[in-house]
Structure 1
């Protein structure tokens, strides 16, 4: 169950965001995509989900081009949670999560016990079982984010793509969500790809890192090999020290304070 991109170029009309991308997402592992703001992380995730169409190259799932897979069939294999999805007016939490079962529905096929079990399990795993009847617009930002995650879980795919899933979550709920991702990978053998901003969380929870910068892939591989002081300084323009995390042993990036001279120099470069 491999997801690969070869010579991929993707973007928008009149603008190429990423080009000449060769990438293989490790099957049955957690991959974190990191990089500066507006570098193309979300665009890459949308392409891997088959939503953003390549301008060149292709993406394959188990050797089959995504373009050759029917949309409903593809949605039974790959679930995507985008950034800040629009909130349907008046919809309840459970009604939203039930939408995750649409790829599994057939014409005139009634709602099944299996469909309801998938919804109930997704609500339970995200801690929303007691909020199932509440309108989505009445939830806090963190609760709303968990409802969208529950929708993706109810879809029950073997590939789960999450674009900044910890947005709007406080620290405890961030850790709960990342623990859930770890459980899905370990217990359900799900292949997970998630965009994260926190390099420490990416290094601790992911088996594989993909660093996006300057319209391409700056590096990819195990966190211990990818997260070097040189890479962080080059890609994020932050001087740092990389040390072992005292809890997990994964790479921990310690930023060094920026001096006024360096701030002025960067401002001059960006003019």
Structure 2
């Protein structure tokens, strides 16, 4: 486990909605300086865990800390300077343009006596450029396709310019090309901008290819965590996902690739 900054630690964490506990008694450390992917079957607690880490859900018990600092003891502005979040289904103000949306990412950096600066403008332009949304800047967000809208929200998260970035299913609504573009961007941010990234993904092959650290959730608790090559086995995938499979080396990267076993009618003669 790395000692790099921006590690998130959850201790005895129990979170849920009303009387429905989703994540119970969880102890987990997500390493700083790395890309972590959280995977698991539907309704296993992936997004709930991410929301709890980002302080969107108050814990029933336990704590969440960034480098030992309890997130529930931070001011909203202080937390927003350390942690950026792209939720699963964000909602934009009606009629807001792409550029205006992305500019909202600079809010944590503003002060009462500090006007909008050249650094703020540069952060917005960089975020638009990196997400391929520069040409969309004047369009209303609610006029965009699902994939375009997702990239606009990612641009907002990038403009916030935090050392720690949480992404809940960032490839949702994107075609394969834009999925790869987003995940390449995540990898680039980690490698060149020293961003710690935690993201929820559904595709196990993409998670294994792009993540340094993998957390496999089942029924609100980690079934396994560690390096993808150590975690993703055919036994684990069948046990957690109920899918008989082979795990082979990706021919491009050497990372684990899950190949479901074919049913009898789909097997070659």
Query: Could you say which TM-score interval applies, normalised by the shorter chain?
Result: over 0.9
Give, in angstroms, the shift of residue 112 of structure 1: 1.2
- The answer to whether structure 1 residue 111 and structure 2 residue 121 are counterparts is no
- SS of the aligned residue for 1:76 comes to helix
- SS of the aligned residue for 2:42 comes to coil
Match of 2:141? 136
Aligned match for 2:81, one of 35, 53, 76: 76
Match of 2:94? 89
Match of 1:237? 242
Task: Note the 1:175-214 alignment, pairs <5 A.
Answer: 175-214=180-219
Give, in angstroms, the shift of residue 257 of structure 1: 3.3
- The answer to whether structure 1 residue 53 and structure 2 residue 49 are counterparts is no
Q: Which moved further from structure 2: 181-190 or 83-92?
A: 83-92
The number of equivalent residue pairs is 260
Give, in angstroms, the shift of residue 232 of structure 1: 0.4
Return the alpha-carbon distance in structure 2 between the equivalents of residues 137 and 68 of structure 1.
Answer: 35
Which runs of 5 or more residues in structure 1 are unaligned? 261-271
Runs of 4 or more above 6 Å deviation:
none
Match of 2:222? 217
Return the alpha-carbon distance in structure 1 between the equivalents of residues 15 and 48 of structure 2.
Answer: 7
Give, in angstroms, the shift of residue 87 of structure 1: 2.9
Aligned match for 1:62, one of 67, 76, 96: 67
Give, in angstroms, the shift of residue 139 of structure 1: 1.4
- SS of the aligned residue for 1:201 comes to helix
- The answer to whether structure 1 residue 13 and structure 2 residue 18 are counterparts is yes
- SS of the aligned residue for 1:86 comes to coil
Which runs of 5 or more residues in structure 2 are unaligned? none
TM-score by length of structure 1 reads 0.94
Give, in angstroms, the shift of residue 108 of structure 1: 4.2
Return the alpha-carbon distance in structure 2 between the equivalents of residues 111 and 102 of structure 1.
Answer: 10
Return the alpha-carbon distance in structure 2 between the equivalents of residues 60 and 172 of structure 1.
Answer: 35
Return the alpha-carbon distance in structure 2 between the equivalents of residues 28 and 107 of structure 1.
Answer: 32
Match of 1:29? 34
- SS of the aligned residue for 2:89 comes to coil
Quote the RMSD (CA, aligned, Å): 1.2
Match of 1:4? 9
Give, in angstroms, the shift of residue 259 of structure 1: 6.8
Match of 1:227? 232
